[in-house]
Amino acid sequence: MIPLDKLIHGRPYEETDTGPRFKPCVPHGVLARLGDKWTILVLSHLAVAPGHRLRFSTLKKGIEGITQRMLTLTVRNLERDGLLRRHYFPEVPPRVEYELTAMGASMLPALEGFTSWIRDHWPGIREARASYDALHDTPGSSGNGTTSEV
């Protein structure tokens, strides 16, 4: 086994005759979770909340299109990863609040950079998709050069 002691953008790799070769990174599940559209919206919503803390019902109302089940799965996964803390209040009716942990809050600058990049480059991405779709019959294209907003 060849040790992966060289780094590109913080990722270890090995040199081969055909160029660098990367191996899947251990935190692949974390990367997949952070790339999920609901995760980003939950974190963004908590980022702007007073004290980075909101009730479950407020989170649900503030994220257009999310179902109760998807919000439940998302906050559970974020809690499992240590990015959120769940507070349960045994009242009638019960009240549940979520807040960013220190680790979750430490991710906000990176999230802002990522979402800023998307916002700045979205028009160019849409143009590139339209150009590509006009030249290719691609899945997701309607045949008239437009694609879904994914």
Chosen domain end from 106, 125, 141:
106
pLDDT digit string, tens, across residues 53-101: 999 999 999 999 999 999 999 999 999 999 999 999 999 999 999 999 9
Mean pLDDT of 9-25: 70
**52 and 88 inside one domain:** yes
**16 and 55 inside one domain:** no
Query: CATH number, domain at 62?
Result: 1.10.10.10
Chosen domain end from 106, 121, 138:
106
Residue 97 near residue 56 (C-beta atoms within 8 A): yes
**86 and 51 inside one domain:** yes
- The domain of 85 spans 35-106
* Number of separate domains in the chain: 2
**49 and 98 inside one domain:** yes
Above 70 in pLDDT, residue 129?
yes
The 3-state secondary structure of the chain reads CCCCCEEECCEEEEEECCEEEECCCCCHHHHHHHCCHHHHHHHHHHHCCHHHEEEHHHHHHHCCCCCHHHHHHHHHHHHHCCCEEEEEECCCCCEEEEEECHHHHHCHHHHHHHHHHHHHHHHHHHHHHHHHHHHCCCCCECCCCCECCC
pTM of the entire structure?
0.71
Residue 137 forms part of a structural domain = no
**8 and 41 inside one domain:** no
**39 and 94 inside one domain:** yes
Above 60 in pLDDT, residue 141?
no
**85 and 54 inside one domain:** yes
**42 and 91 inside one domain:** yes
